[in-house]
Amino acid sequence: MTRPTVCVFDYGFGNVRSATRALEHVGADVRLTRDRDFAETAAGLVVPGVGAFAAVMQGLREARGDQIVGRRLSGGRPVLGICVGMQVMFERGVEHGEETVGLDQWPGTVEHLQTSVVPNMGWAKVEAPAGTTLFDGIADERFYFVHSYGARTFPLGTTEDTGRFAAPLVTWSTAGTGDDADRFVAAVENGPLAATQFHPEKSGEAGLRLLRNWVETL
């Protein structure tokens, strides 16, 4: 069987080596590069991201990653965002009072989590929706999070028909507990665009299974 080609976009932000090794482990033919032609034509594109929303967006634009993501999605070619690589898919991010325009694939704002337990760091369960592909067979597992910001709402909605593709499937998780808890978007599956707030490459066997589930769709 031919191994699907996957580009891990190397624009200076993200756990690129860990992501590359994990994707190779689950059966992808992976290339770590910022080469535009390969990034646009590979079977799958992974956009990792760590650090500040504004810095990640600057790095993406300098590497023309915003154009690459847009062109892939307009052609229905799969993209997977990880951590801040998911956050930048939203309309905007607000950090320390600074607002930064994101890739605007989804409406909504990435903002500071409203809980005293930040950063939200460690293993946590998620609330995956019916019909999920990413979490097939692992909906009850735990995944590794490390972040202080997140999308606390998903304004696009999850029930209406959005036209070309089926309605988004949104997975949620919670930072903190009790009255100090804050619910946030943990993953989204939306046509060719999928993303996770947690790090699947750091989430053990469950994370590898999620990556395998994604690779098998390519």
Which residues are catalytically annotated? Answer: 83, 199, 201
- Report DSSP letters for 37-105, one per residue: HHHHHSSEEEE---S-HHHHHHHHHHTTHHHHHHHHHHTT--EEEETHHHHTTEEEEEETTEEEE---S
* Residue 72 to residues 5, 38, 188, Cα–Cα distance (Å): 14, 11, 17
Residue (of 177, 79, 169) closest to 122 by Cα position: 177
Residue (of 173, 123, 171, 177) closest to 146 by Cα position: 123
The strand pair at 182-190 and 169-175 is best described as antiparallel
- Provide the residue type at 126 as one letter: V
